[in-house]
């Protein structure tokens, strides 16, 4: 494989987090970062280090996780995508690959992220969705949940909605959007903001579920925010309902490459 000059490539990755021990590489554990690095190192003919937009926990899924890596490989973008997908398991796929400027950074250049949390709200569980949604039997009042969510929109100190261990120096974040709606027998919570704390979306989901069950008033979330006390918020919802939908880079988003041919294999060309 001929080597060229240094390149920084960006990949957008979709994965089912059920059988991964989260994103970050851990000794003796299967992780998304580890799987990607192994595949890319094999494909590019040398050690590759992958830098993601952020971590996801065990069991959390992604529709559009973003990550960058550096390589001197001359492989086309298409062959990188097809090659990685041929070397990883069926629960992980690179859905896009682009050239980036040398200074692009998947984590530091992120302007915001969108997460989605799904609650299966019916009497019976779903064997087909057991790893895709949090099952709650008791009926949830979506309108009450939406009213409660409105109190969290904007810039606030979200200390009450993140785990205390490893809490950063600043817990102020801006939630640009927090919507609650019903799709069939599921309640979908979608959050978009400039940054999220560890377990923040899952704690918001757990607290909104309490509102939906009538266990707390919608307006009580103002007092929860003001308290900065984790014990005042609801439980941390389980990971299987959470999806990282997309990462926003604004004008720094790498431009798409040339159109892909309708059919091409790794051996083509």
Q: What is 3-108's CATH number, 3.30.70.580, 3.40.50.2020, 3.30.70.250, 3.40.50.10420?
A: 3.30.70.580
pLDDT at 4: 64
The verdict on whether 185 is a catalytic residue reads no
pLDDT band with cut points at 50, 70 and 90 for residue 268: very low
Q: What is the mean pLDDT of residues 54-61?
A: 96
Q: Which of 16, 57, 70, 157 is catalytic?
A: 57
**Nearest residue to 53 (alpha-carbon basis) of 7, 111, 116:** 111
Q: What is the dihedral of CA 55, 236, 175, 112, to 10 degrees?
A: 10
What's residue 164's pLDDT?
83
Domain edges within the chain:
3-108, 112-246
Q: Which of 32, 34, 43, 57 is nearest to 9 (CA)?
A: 43
Residues 6+ apart with CB under 8 A from 194: 111, 112, 173, 174, 176
Same fold yes or no, 3-108 and 112-246: yes
For the domain bounded by 112-246, which CATH number is listed? 3.30.70.660
What is the b/e burial string over 130-156, where b = at least 16 CB atoms within 10 angstroms of the residue's CB? eebbbbbeeebebebbbbbbebbbeeb
pLDDT in tens, 105-156: 999 999 999 999 999 999 999 999 999 999 999 999 999 999 999 999 999 9
């Amino acid at each position: 494989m001929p080597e060229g000059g240094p390149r920084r490539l960006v990949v957008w990755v979709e994965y089912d987090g059920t059988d991964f021990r989260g994103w970050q590489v851990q000794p003796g554990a299967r992780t998304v970062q580890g799987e990607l690095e192994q595949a890319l190192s094999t494909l590019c003919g040398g050690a590759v280090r992958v830098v993601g937009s952020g971590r996801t926990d065990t069991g959390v899924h992604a529709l559009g996780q973003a990550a960058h890596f550096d390589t001197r490989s001359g492989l086309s973008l298409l062959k990188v995508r097809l090659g990685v997908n041929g070397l990883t398991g069926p629960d992980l796929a690179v859905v896009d690959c682009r050239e980036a400027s040398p200074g692009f950074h998947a984590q530091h250049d992120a302007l915001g992220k969108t997460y989605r949390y799904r609650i299966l709200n019916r009497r019976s569980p779903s064997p087909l969705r057991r790893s895709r949604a949090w099952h709650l039997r008791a009926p949830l009042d979506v309108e009450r949940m939406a009213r409660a969510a409105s109190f969290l929109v904007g810039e606030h100190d979200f200390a009450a909605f993140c785990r205390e261990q490893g809490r950063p120096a600043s817990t102020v974040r801006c939630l640009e959007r927090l919507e609650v709606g019903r799709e069939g027998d599921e309640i979908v919570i979608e959050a978009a903001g400039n940054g999220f704390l560890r377990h923040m979306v899952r704690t918001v989901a757990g607290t909104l579920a309490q509102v939906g069950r009538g266990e707390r008033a919608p307006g009580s979330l103002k007092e929860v925010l003001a308290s900065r006390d984790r014990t005042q918020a609801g439980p941390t919802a389980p990971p299987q309902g959470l999806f990282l939908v997309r990462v926003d880079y604004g004008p720094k988003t790498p431009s798409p490459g040339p159109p892909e041919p309708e059919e091409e294999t790794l051996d083509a060309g």
